[in-house]
Amino acid sequence: MTTLDDASAPPTEMPGQLALEGFDPPPPGPDDEPTVAAPTTGWRTVRTVFLVLVAVALVSRLAALGSRPLHHDESLDAWFSWRYLNGTYEGYDPVYHGPLRFYITAWFYWLLGESEAVARLLPALSGVVVVALPWFWRRDLGKAGTIGAVVLLTVSPSMLYFSRFGREDAFFLALTFGAMITLVAFLRRPKWWHPTLILALVVCAWAVKESIFLSIFVVGSFGMVLMIQDFITAKPPGEHSLSGSRALSDDMVKRITLVLGLVCMIAAFAIIGVDPERDLDAAGEPIGLDPTFLWLGGLGGLYALGIILAWFDSNRRGVRLTDVRVFGSIATAGWKGWSIAVGVSIFLFVGLFSQFFRDFSGPGSEAAPHGAIRNGLTAGFEYWLGEQDTVRGDARWQYYLAVIPAYEWMVLALAFVGIVRVLRRPTLLGQVLVWWGVSSFAVHSWAGERMPWLIIHPLLPFVLLAGYGLQGIWGRRTSMATVVAVPIAAALALGLVVTAVSSYQAAYVRGGEPQELFVQAGQATPEVPEWTERLELLNQLSVAEFGRNATVSIDADVFWPYGWYLRDYPGGTYAIIDPAEVPPDSDVIFVPHWKQQQVGDQLEGYVAIPYEHRWWWVPDLDASGGFGEPGTVAKAWLNWVWDREPWQASDNAAANSCPGSLVGQVYMRAELFELEQRYRNGEPPPAADKPDYDGPCQRLD
Amino acid sequence: MNLLVLVFLLMVVATGHVATTLVGLKLRAEERLAYGTIIGTVIVSTVGFGFAWVGGVDKLTMLGSAAVSLVAMALLAQLAAPAELAGLRTEFVDTGRRLRLGWRERDNPWPLVALTLLGAVVSIRILALAYGTTVDGGLEAGHLSVFGDWSAHMGYAASFAYADNFPPELPTAAGESFAYHFGVDWFSAMFVPLGLSVPASLQVSSAFLAIAFPAVMYSASLRLVKSRLAAGLAVLVFLASGGTAALFRFIFLDLIDEGIGVLGALPRAYAFDGFDRNWVDNAVTGFLYPQRPTMIGFTITLFGLAVLWQAREGADGATTTGARASHRPHLFVGVLTGLMPIFHVFAFGVLVVIGFFWALLERTRRWLYFVVPTLLMGLPIVWWQIPERSGRDGWHTFWMLGLSSWERTFGDFLWFWLLNTGLFIPLAIWGFLSTDAEQRNRFLPIFGLLLIPNVAVWHFWPGNNVKYLAFFLLLAAPFVGERLATWLRRGPVFALGAVLLTISLTLSGGLDVWRAFEGTTGAAPGQAAWPVGYLSGSDVLVGEWVRDHTEPDAVLATANSNVHPVRALAGRTVVAGADGRLNDLGVVWEPRVEALRIVYGVFEGFDGVIAEYEIDYLVLGPMERQAFRPAGAPDDWDPAEFWDAAAPVVYDVGGYKIYDVRSYQ
């Protein structure tokens, strides 16, 4: 295990390090130093508590991992991994995101067997890694801050829920978090292997999700602002103070550049808008520059202009390029370090996108029409850009503003303290966290796809800022009056308990039920796994009694997640059912409600069973949602925070949103139905456990 | 696996870990963890068995058993070994320090960690393949071990989990005592109330014990040999044992015929050829995987001997109390040995023989602490287990040769052992002779385990003699490992020789382990391509129906098949299980099978048979129709014609009928 002393060990260097004339590694500036200095005996306790929390995280992420019915997207991930295991995966297609998690989950299947829990194992383990990674920043966060951040990551409802959710987000988050930690280390005390690790993690993240482009944007923009800061505040060799030569202190320069940089970015996104409309020519082709490119290009140009001006200024003061942190770190890695980094990245990239050098052709789909490598390089970005216009998920830019506070109000409150603390003393890590949090929030709010599982990406830096804020509060505890300290401590304790209960309810008790805002429209109802088991029993009975498999036809509109659940079902279950022409030999037929009338009319000798396939709830969060009195939304929101009772506006009564579900009908051949009854000794099949709303929904008039 | 199972397993490990403080010897944290896994299994299983007998098999009882075991061990340790208990934390800290040592440092535990991780991947993969599902909803078996031995184990475990088998009776023979070391199957049954199916409970409990095995063997071997390399080689030559058959069959037949791709679908088992010439199977696929009690018996034997060796008179600074004549190691091993008849009666025998031999060598009072609990606890259990039929076939010479197709000549005798164990025996003798006098004196009895099966058959089935040999391979492996490690360090020529010898010792067994691990097998003539069908969907339906709809203490008449679903899935007691070598157990099967013929053939006196065996339900399915067809019966013979009118039908699906025949009792 790494000790605190290791952090002060001299950096290892590669032989053949890049030799720059007159270059010395940049001395750490005052903001490079962690806020907590030498290790003390108290760290042993912190380490013990940290290990206990990681154990709690492990248990909480793994417990009953397979119990919630699979969401539509989870089932696709599980299915593609299974296809990779069976050698039928066709390669990267950005519609289904990167292949790396398919490879890893396939390996888990191979080792542990195929199940819903194993399909979610990679995100669960990634979630544990995310909980553990703040340890690398413990000297910055401080004892209370480290423990606080780890506790919040462990109990955060969003973090827990989406660590147990079989999509790629938790894994992507762990990779980008690891890359960010390495990047900060590289800026502080560069070592030859840092670029290799950073680029390897970036390539892995690239092979997981196209969000890597957003991450690159966040990091790249911060790098530009950091360069402006460093050019302005850098000191020529031998000079230790700029006092008297400049009106602004270093900290003030950092505050201004940080805030101004973020304001410009937010302004650019506000100008572009979430759904930019472009003028079209007669042929329907857009005219002029895409506003996204125009304004983001302008933002980049603005940052670049700042860099150039600051560079001129620093040059005038005799500052060398390598005195600036970014350039100094790049130089320290040396040409061998960078060669290895580039070589390893290319090798990884080609390996990951070619199914480990076995298949260089792509799937040939509309979104991935090229070869495997070109698809990896360009198709993801092109697809993502194309999706910007379609606006997937929630259409409202303020979606995260409404959802994140609903679960993570405690994180946000402490993060606010953390941001204030950073602005008072803008350390490198503090600035990184503020930039990462605010810009991620902005870019995710602007980006066309707003989904609950994306919450964790902007949330992570705020959790770390919350730890930072907590350390600030903890540091002032001795100077606080009791009358202040006790209520703060009580509020924190109460908030933690409420958050933990909320997290427990969302993850275990109500996991997958539609009143939770984490539940998106693709979530299957508990009837889906119930029906899976029932179909398997029906097939057993059919083979045993009639000597043939039960034929099951599931209409394409209600097929997923059965594609995963019934992957081994003999003969297949997928069907595109034309209501005018019902499959003649089917023993069991699943149809959505818009087909059930027509299909039901044609069937004779079948038993009709009502069926609920997926469910959701889209709360009316807009002020213009038709509510009569101001504050009604806030009241409904607060009610929901308290009792998780969904609501809807009165003028939205017909919108099937309180909660709504995709219903349909299952038709079962009477002969098979009777056989099942006989086997069960006349007892009914187990019924799915569903939520019961008092209202059934709060009605807001 | 769910959270309750995880919590239960953690409590088992913690119980064993704390219990090791009672040994009174200086042990390292990793040793305590490895040994503790097995010791915890023994303790929690024993306590749980008592609790379940009184309170039934449910979730609360199982978790409560583990919790009570843990608390009891902690209290006992606090009373008897407070210093050792307090020192556990220090040991973990010390492990952290040693993990940072250089690779070449003897105290560095990374080799053990790596070995355990490798063993875990291999074990989990092999056991994950144990069962699969078929397209008709049935079960398939992924390995011969599962199709054969695990059928019995599944029935035993199910009898505890679903059929309230307390006090234990043999579920395959109504009214018989449980003449089998059922401890490991009871341990599996403990997982069922926690949410696992019976097949999954066998897989999880086996994986748990299998993951600990290499760590236990390595730790124990390290106490007997001079280097970590020797200890690692001891583990390797034992786990990959299997004779020399692969040298010919793999290299000169399969590899030449099919090329390197044959590794993706190995067509045959190499260490074992179905009792033709290769009788001594690979340790993993022939002993540990199918014969589940060995996973406890082998490890407890290794632990017991390592402890007694460490605690011997004159050993340096071994005890935690500083008193060399402390009796605690002997008492601890004595109690564990006394419990062994429940878990592995062969381990009981081996520990008794070697322990008593060492007691004779030392002749000190503290050996009474070993001898007394061993005899007081062990002998009554053995006496209770002794079946009604004697299995002793007496003395003979050249075991196996007389039973094989070979001539009974001395040359064939030597050839037989070369084929079955390669150069393991000469290497073991060489290693044994190379060690110091004390070790030679103490470990002399292990050669008795090689001698006995060559001169005597004490079992119903002579093939069981191989179980003695397995102990010889286990306990002699450190000597072989030491010898190979010595040569590996003695210059390139010796090193090359050692490498070739290691390959010759491990190729057959290694290929068999690979075949089980890889999971895709081809089939040489006369061999099965795994997986194979085990229970059909119809079988599973009837098995689960019986489990859910009949009384736990019901007795059923079924076919005497090794793969009958009523026995395997429902755990209900049947009149007669399979009479093959896997199920002999000293039961006199013939009258039972004859009784079933009378009932199914509706011959005179059938009602008396039902009353005699107290049969509650009569199962009539494809296996019964095939097994009990009377000689000369017409093609359309079907006892259902009689039973439909004679008893209520309570189940009628998929070719199976079940009749309620309680009115005939």
Residue A656 banded pLDDT, cuts 50, 70, 90: low
Does position A298 have pLDDT exceeding 80, yes or no?
Answer: yes
Does position A242 have pLDDT exceeding 60, yes or no?
Answer: no
Does position A485 have pLDDT exceeding 60, yes or no?
Answer: yes
The string of pLDDT tens digits covering residues A539-561 is: 999 999 999 999 999 999 999 99
> What pLDDT does residue A278 have?
62
Instruction: Please indicate if any CB of chain A lies within 8 Å of the CB of B50.
Output: no
Instruction: Please indicate if any CB of chain A lies within 8 Å of the CB of B10.
Output: no
Closest by Cβ to A543, choosing from B2, B121, B137: B137
Contact A112 B549 (CB under 8 A): no
DSSP assignment of B346-365: HHHHHHHHHHHHHHHHH--G
> What pLDDT does residue B178 have?
86
% residues pLDDT > 90 (chain A) = 64
- Of B143, B202, B41, the residue nearest B571 (C-alpha): B202
Does position B568 have pLDDT exceeding 70, yes or no?
Answer: yes
Instruction: Please indicate if any CB of chain A lies within 8 Å of the CB of B121.
Output: yes
Mean pLDDT calculated for residue range A470-475? 94
Does position B27 have pLDDT exceeding 60, yes or no?
Answer: yes
Residue A22 banded pLDDT, cuts 50, 70, 90: very low
Distance from CA of A568 to the nearest CA of B (A): 7
Contact B537 A543 (CB under 8 A): yes
Contact A111 B654 (CB under 8 A): no
> What pLDDT does residue B519 have?
84
> What pLDDT does residue A248 have?
81
Contact B653 A541 (CB under 8 A): yes
Distance from CA of B114 to the nearest CA of A (A): 16
Closest by Cβ to A540, choosing from B125, B537, B655: B537
Mean pLDDT calculated for residue range B562-587? 84
Closest by Cβ to B653, choosing from A117, A549, A678: A678
When comparing pLDDT for A625 and B109, which is higher?
A: B109
The string of pLDDT tens digits covering residues B179-200 is: 889 999 999 999 999 999 999 9
Nearest CA in chain B to A675: B653
Contact A111 B128 (CB under 8 A): yes
Mean pLDDT calculated for residue range A68-79? 96
> What pLDDT does residue B120 have?
96
Chain A residue numbers touching B124 (CB-CB < 8 A): 111-112
Contact B2 A64 (CB under 8 A): yes
Does position A222 have pLDDT exceeding 70, yes or no?
Answer: yes
Contact B3 A111 (CB under 8 A): no
Chain B residue numbers touching A117 (CB-CB < 8 A): 1
Closest by Cβ to A111, choosing from B3, B125, B135: B125
> Is A197:A182 a contact under the CB 8 Å cutoff?
yes
> What pLDDT does residue A512 have?
87
Residue B632 banded pLDDT, cuts 50, 70, 90: confident
Q: A66-80, A122-136, B630-644: lowest mean pLDDT where?
A: B630-644
> What pLDDT does residue B570 have?
96
When comparing pLDDT for B48 and A571, which is higher?
A: B48
Chain A residue numbers touching B653 (CB-CB < 8 A): 541, 544-545, 675, 678-679
Q: A385-389, A458-462, A661-665, B202-206: lowest mean pLDDT where?
A: A385-389
> What pLDDT does residue B390 have?
56
Mean pLDDT calculated for residue range A286-298? 80
% residues pLDDT > 70 (chain A) = 86
Chain A residue numbers touching B6 (CB-CB < 8 A): 59, 62-63
Place of tokens 């069991």: A588
Chain B residue numbers touching A106 (CB-CB < 8 A): none
**Residues ≥6 apart with Cβ < 8 Å to A282:** none
> What pLDDT does residue A553 have?
96
- Cα–Cα distance measured from residue B72 to residue B583, given in angstroms and rounded to the nearest whole number: 37
The string of pLDDT tens digits covering residues B110-169 is: 999 999 999 999 999 999 999 999 989 999 999 999 999 999 999 999 999 999 999 999
% residues pLDDT > 90 (chain B) = 73
Which residues sit opposite A610 in a β-bridge? Answer: A665
> What pLDDT does residue B398 have?
58
Interface test with B, best of A679, A680, A681 (most B CBs within 10 A): A679
Chain B residue numbers touching A678 (CB-CB < 8 A): 652-653
Chain A residue numbers touching B135 (CB-CB < 8 A): 549, 568, 570
Mean pLDDT calculated for residue range B83-94? 91
Distance from CA of A113 to the nearest CA of B (A): 6
- Cα–Cα distance measured from residue A280 to residue B492, given in angstroms and rounded to the nearest whole number: 80
3-state secondary structure of A450: strand
Chain A residue numbers touching B545 (CB-CB < 8 A): 679
> Is B131:B532 a contact under the CB 8 Å cutoff?
no
ipTM: 0.86
- The encoded tokens of residue B463 equal 């093939």
Does position A13 have pLDDT exceeding 60, yes or no?
Answer: no
When comparing pLDDT for B282 and A512, which is higher?
A: B282
Angle B430-B431-B434 (CA atoms, 0-180°, nearest 5)?
A: 85
Mean pLDDT calculated for residue range B249-270? 90
Q: Which residues of A touch B (CB under 8 A)?
A: 1, 59, 62-64, 110-113, 117, 536-537, 539-541, 543-545, 549, 568, 570, 675, 678-679, 681
Chain B residue numbers touching A539 (CB-CB < 8 A): 136-137, 537
3-state secondary structure of B660: strand
> What pLDDT does residue A275 have?
63
3-state secondary structure of B391: coil
> What pLDDT does residue A473 have?
94
**Residues ≥6 apart with Cβ < 8 Å to B508:** B242, B243, B244, B245, B246, B247, B250, B270, B271, B282
Instruction: Please indicate if any CB of chain A lies within 8 Å of the CB of B100.
Output: yes
- Cα–Cα distance measured from residue B124 to residue B141, given in angstroms and rounded to the nearest whole number: 16
Contact A549 B135 (CB under 8 A): yes
- Cα–Cα distance measured from residue B507 to residue B511, given in angstroms and rounded to the nearest whole number: 6
> Is B363:B321 a contact under the CB 8 Å cutoff?
no
Q: A176-180, A398-402, B50-54, B564-568: lowest mean pLDDT where?
A: A398-402
Closest by Cβ to B541, choosing from A544, A549, A568: A544
Q: How far is CA B414 from the centre of its chain?
A: 29
* Highest mean pLDDT, choosing among A651-655, B236-240, B558-562: B236-240
Contact B538 A63 (CB under 8 A): no
- Cα–Cα distance measured from residue B518 to residue B275, given in angstroms and rounded to the nearest whole number: 24
Distance from CA of B304 to the nearest CA of A (A): 33
Mean pLDDT calculated for residue range B384-395? 65
The string of pLDDT tens digits covering residues B496-529 is: 999 999 999 999 999 999 999 988 777 777 777 8
- The encoded tokens of residue A353 equal 């996108």
Does position A73 have pLDDT exceeding 80, yes or no?
Answer: yes
> What pLDDT does residue A15 have?
38
Interface test with A, best of B3, B202, B535, B656 (most A CBs within 10 A): B3
Task: Give the helix ranges, DSSP H, for B458-490.
Answer: 466-488
Distance from CA of A111 to the nearest CA of B (A): 5
The string of pLDDT tens digits covering residues B444-460 is: 999 999 887 777 766 66
> What pLDDT does residue B428 have?
97
Which residues sit opposite A663 in a β-bridge? Answer: A612
Mean pLDDT calculated for residue range A8-16? 38
Tell me the pLDDT of chain A averaged across its residues: 87
> Is B339:B46 a contact under the CB 8 Å cutoff?
yes
- Tell me the helix, strand and coil percentages in chain B, rounded to 5: 65, 5, 30
Distance from CA of A696 to the nearest CA of B (A): 34
Tell me the pLDDT of chain B averaged across its residues: 90
Does position B588 have pLDDT exceeding 50, yes or no?
Answer: yes
The string of pLDDT tens digits covering residues A496-506 is: 999 999 999 99
- Cα–Cα distance measured from residue B421 to residue B414, given in angstroms and rounded to the nearest whole number: 10
Closest by Cβ to B654, choosing from A1, A111, A545: A545
Mean pLDDT calculated for residue range B282-294? 94
